[in-house]
Amino acid sequence: MRKFTMPFAQKIILICLVLVGCHKPPAYAPSAMPEASKGPAPMGSATSNALLKEKVELLSLMMQGKIPTEQLQQAVEKAQALLKAPTQVLDGEAQKAIMVHDLYRRLPAGISEQTPLADTNKQKLILAKLYFDERRFIEAAHQLSSLLDEAPNYPDARNLLARCFFFLGNQDRTIAELNFVLNTGNPPKTEKLDALFLLGAAVLESQTPSKENLSQGIDAWETYLKEAPQSPQKTTVEKGLAAMRNAMNTPDGVNPNSRLAQLGEGASDTEKNRAKALDAFEQKSPQAALPILRQALTNLKPEPEILTALGRTLVRLQKVPEAQEAFAKAVELFPNHVPAWHYQGMAFLLGGSPEKAVQSWKTVVSKDPAYAQTHQLSRRIQVAERMSSQQSP
């Protein structure tokens, strides 16, 4: 009798389906675990909730040695061949192989069926890095907090937790976590330098840093330059130090990093109004920023950054049709302003038109490949194309 063999991708899907069927609800609120919810990816992430859940479960199986090594190697070899091909037409099995390849690279050397990863804290760190790379900072922070409850000085974990809080906009918690790294024990030099750099960056990005935090940021970056004088970040750090020292002379409650604060004494009313509008977008709530942006567009000539900021603010307020109108005007008047095309794609996707999102993002790729790569638009395009094909009859 001929033995039936199931393709590798189908085996992986079957394993994931079994896991999903047995999956227990998380012990904390669903709002803190977005990948457990149905729907598209949240803003900032190129991966849908369902796909992220599949990645997490598949990576967990790999770490536990529950997938035959031979099957993993076959998928990795197939992915490597696909990635070397000049053109790629990826069916479902090919996409699965590439996903396995990307996840496999996250495993420590030597992990297999015979030698699974026994260190549960290391497992949590690996999962946290996956969440972080997917820009799911809340989920990453949950993994890291659980790890640090067990091992408060676990290498690299607290620095990564600080980065999560940094991208979540909680600069005070970022600074607190980094101070723990720097003031507790004797961290490795690379971890110390990372903490020093991020501490200065967190202070610099704060809207209205206190004099105490400014002093900590200055001390951190001065120490960083002493310990890493040849760092490729030297120029950035020196400019940041100058800005923080200047901010020490700024009155409390005023954002020293605001566009308005950076204008010279001879700035025109037009320059001031433009700076106020963009400061409102960057620093105020969407509800407070919206009338300021609209007033600026009434008083000033059409301007690409303000039109794009208006569109993004309308998206945040869930006024997607109005946002699409703002982006349409921006790309019509300023076709080379690629952020307008980028966020127009986001508005199209949120409005249920993934095929239009693909067109906008492909325009960015053609106009500014570096910008597209920085914002991972190739991955967004793949997700949107998949969503578009699912909508087709």
pLDDT at 19 over 60: no
Give the integer Cα–Cα distance in Å for 303 and 298. 11
What domains are defined for the chain? 156-252 (1.25.40), 269-387 (1.25.40.10)
pLDDT at 31 over 80: no
Give me the pLDDT at residue 143, please: 96
Cβ-contact 179, 216 below 8 angstroms: yes
Residue 18 or residue 266, greater confidence: 266
DSSP states along 43-95? TT-SS-HHHHHHHHHHHHHHHTT-S-HHHHHHHHHHHHHHHHSSS----HHHH
* 3-class state of residue 218 by DSSP: helix
Scanning the chain, the segments in alpha helix (DSSP H) are 8-22, 49-63, 69-84, 92-104, 120-133, 137-150, 157-167, 171-183, 189-205, 211-227, 234-247, 259-262, 269-283, 286-299, 304-316, 320-333, 338-350, 354-367, 369-374, 377-391
Query: For residue 178, what pLDDT band results from cuts at 50, 70 and 90?
Result: very high
Give the pair of three-digit tokens for residue 167: 């991208």
Give the pair of three-digit tokens for residue 184: 């507790």
Q: How many CB atoms lie within 10 A of CB 172?
A: 13
Query: For residue 88, what pLDDT band results from cuts at 50, 70 and 90?
Result: low
pLDDT at 60 over 80: yes
Dihedral of the alpha carbons of 122, 127, 129, 132, in degrees to the nearest 10: -150
The 10 Å CB-count burial string (b at 16+, else e) for 293-304 is: beebbeeeeebb
pLDDT at 5 over 80: no
Query: For residue 89, what pLDDT band results from cuts at 50, 70 and 90?
Result: low
Residues 6+ apart with CB under 8 A from 37: 30, 49
Give me the pLDDT at residue 185, please: 73
| 150 closest CA partner among 120, 107, 105 | 120
Cβ-contact 296, 313 below 8 angstroms: no
Give the integer Cα–Cα distance in Å for 179 and 164. 15
> What average pLDDT score do residues 208-237 get?
92
Query: For residue 45, what pLDDT band results from cuts at 50, 70 and 90?
Result: low
Query: For residue 193, what pLDDT band results from cuts at 50, 70 and 90?
Result: very high
Lowest mean per-residue pLDDT among 15-19, 92-96, 290-294, 376-380: 15-19
Counting residues of the chain whose pLDDT is more than 70, the rounded percentage is 84
Give the integer Cα–Cα distance in Å for 89 and 190. 41
> What average pLDDT score do residues 205-222 get?
89
Give the pair of three-digit tokens for residue 335: 């076709």
Q: Count of alpha carbons within 13 Å of 160, Cβ hemisphere only?
A: 29
pTM higher than the cut 0.75: no
List Cβ<8 Å contacts ≥24 apart for 164-169.
164/132, 164/137, 164/138, 164/140, 165/137, 165/141, 166/198, 166/201, 166/202, 166/205, 167/135, 167/137, 168/137, 168/138, 168/141
Give me the pLDDT at residue 141, please: 96
